[in-house]
Chains A and B, each alone.
Chain A
Amino acid sequence: MALLEIQNLNITYKTDKKEIRAVKDFSLNIDTKDSIGIVGESGSGKSTLAMGILKLLPKGTTKTTGKILFDGVDLLELTEEEFRKLRWKDISVVFQKSMNSLSPVHKIGFQMKDIYRVHEPDARDEEVRKRILELFRFVNLSDRVYNLYPHELSGGMMQRVSIALSLIYYPKLLILDEATTALDVVTQGQILDEIMKLEEALDLTRIMITHDISVVASSCKKVVVMYGGCLLESGYVYDVLVNPKHPYTQGLLNSFPDFIGEKKDLRGIPGSIPDLSLEYKSCIFTNRCKKAKSICFEKIPKIKTFPNEWNVACHLLGGFDGE
């Protein structure tokens, strides 16, 4: 059964003059123990999506419609109080700058213990300590970190602490929003390895939000490609990243240099990201798409499903919307 089921999710930011449609008609099923990478450039709505799942969007200025079913419960229907019981316990998150959320004047162990007691107020000291040290071992941190202050750690170690912290209740769903982006290559590689091992050990379902396809290619089972708030292509990484069907995914992959193997020519995608305050009645990618045909300028493509849970939103595939 799907752990997280997103149905027709729309998220709109409202300002005085404009409405910015950051996420549009987004539907996605995430099964238990899936690891799914959501890839997109800036303005693709990937972070808004994560914030929407976590209900962290500012209430006054955003409008969210649709359904986000987590274990069959619609998160959008829950009150703040009800959702608080789920947050961190069942759904937790690590941001790019999560390390900044720790207080600089308390030791790391102390803060983690405090956080653990939010949902488990009666836990014994010894028990909590044991759990934290176990998590440290998972993320390859030494026990001595327990008694250190945040400023005594490097960025990579802090991000490991953040990951350990996010796992403190053994959540069902972990969202990593650009969690390894700020780290250097070597540390990033190691943390990705550690995260993949964790998944095995803790039966974790993971959403990995990133702009870096290589992170998804090396650490995720499935991938979702987002652009301008829309889902353009999703499926297993072995399908989507090897034989992409959507012109945008193809373009994106061509933009990445791959240094092993032959030196192919790099090709970017001309143009720039769409203005989301406008209303689009056609495919969102059309005006940058090299293969665009007249239909692409007229209608919003429906999502077509191919074998192996491969979804693509493009007019050019499999006939024209059944017409």
Chain B
Amino acid sequence: MVNSLMKIKGLTKWYIPKGKNKNKIIKAVDGIDLSINKGEVLGIIGESGCGKSTFGRMLVALEKPTAGSIKFEGVPINQILKENQLHFKKNCQMIFQDPFDTFDPRNNIQRILTTPLKIHNIGSSHKERIDMIIEIMEETGIKPAKDFIHRYPHELSGGQLQRISIIRSMLLNPKLIIADEPVSMLDVSVRADIINILLNLIKKHGTSMIFISHDIATTGYVSDKIAIMYLGKIVEIGSTDDIIKNAQHPYTKVLISNCASIDPFEKRNRIKVKGEPPTPVGTGPGCYFYERCYRGNDRCKESYPEMMDLGNGHYASCFNI
């Protein structure tokens, strides 16, 4: 495939506790196969503890996978990292959840934004770099930029900081952005603007994005494709429309039915599940969702269901479809 930007195969991250509890392996990410195309926005939805953040961190080489491979433009990232680490970092950027902690509190905005340019040799002089950051700051609504560049992170609001974070990533003109819950710590009224800025910028530059979130509504708004994660595995993946209107996996259905709407007339029937969200310890061999599933049978207990092709790029891993 010419279009594919990043191909992930069998990506796994296990944390093996030291000492006595050797059996209690924490399977944070447990064999993920994914592919993201150029210019595409892929949403990853999962509850807290499903391993979605660990997954994102592996994609930008902040964590080393236990097993599996990530290929970026056809080349394994281990090889890219060895040969030209800066090239990889320039092309794979991350936006973090906590804007208040994303920047060194001792650096001012000018330094924060010119540092990546300097590292990657973008812009020929200090002055040119400053002109570049001022231009993009004004474009994203941080006006007047000249007033802001001498401020420190603690003098800015969460929304402004997250804008700076987006700007810093986009200054490098990356091919892929991993956004890990980029708006979950912001106030509702500023979330929409941040999301729009992010979407506009990536559309303009043709950047792909992996949008990691627990919020179905926001992810649905942002993404072309959505993958649902449960205990380190992807249980369903498909186009946004397919996932939201035609979900097949019981877990996806539960998630969507429990997602409250802002419309008080819309009373959805919440699908009840048994038990509590489990931890990714000692899972398997059957379907990980079996214990809470409302339609499980004996077969689900015995082996983990393979991904089923439902057509149109829609896959789900459940025996009962």
Contacts and interface: CB of A to CB of B under 8 A. Distances in A.
The answer to A–B direct touch (Cβ < 8 A) is: yes
Contact of B258 (A188, A255, A272): A188
A186 B255 contact: yes
Contacts of B259: 185, 189, 214, 259
B260 A192 contact: yes
A99 interface: no
A317 interface: no
B264 A217 contact: yes
Given A156-B277, A190-B272, A266-B195, A252 B264 contact: no
Given A257-B218, A268-B194, A41 B188 contact: yes
A188 to B, nearest CB: 7
Given A186-B273, A268-B190, A268-B194, A256 B157 contact: no
Nearest to A269: B189
Contacts of B130: none
A218 B267 contact: yes
B221 A272 contact: no
Interface string A227-267: 00000000001100110000000011111111110010011
Contacts of A267: 192, 196
Interface in A180-218: 184-190, 192-193, 211-215, 217-218
Contact of B187 (A42, A214, A257, A270): A42
Interface string A37-70: 0000110000000000000000000000000000
Interface in A257-305: 257-260, 263, 266-270, 272-273
Contacts of A254: 192
Given A270-B193, A273-B187, 4 more contacts: A41-B189, A267-B196, A268-B194, A273-B157
Interface of B: 47-48, 141, 157, 159-160, 187-196, 214, 216-218, 220-221, 244-245, 254-255, 257-268, 270, 272-273, 276-277
21 contacts: A156-B277, A184-B48, A186-B255, A186-B258, A190-B258, A190-B270, A214-B261, A217-B261, A217-B263, A217-B264, A238-B264, A242-B263, A253-B262, A255-B191, A266-B196, A268-B193, A269-B189, A269-B193, A272-B190, A273-B157, A273-B187
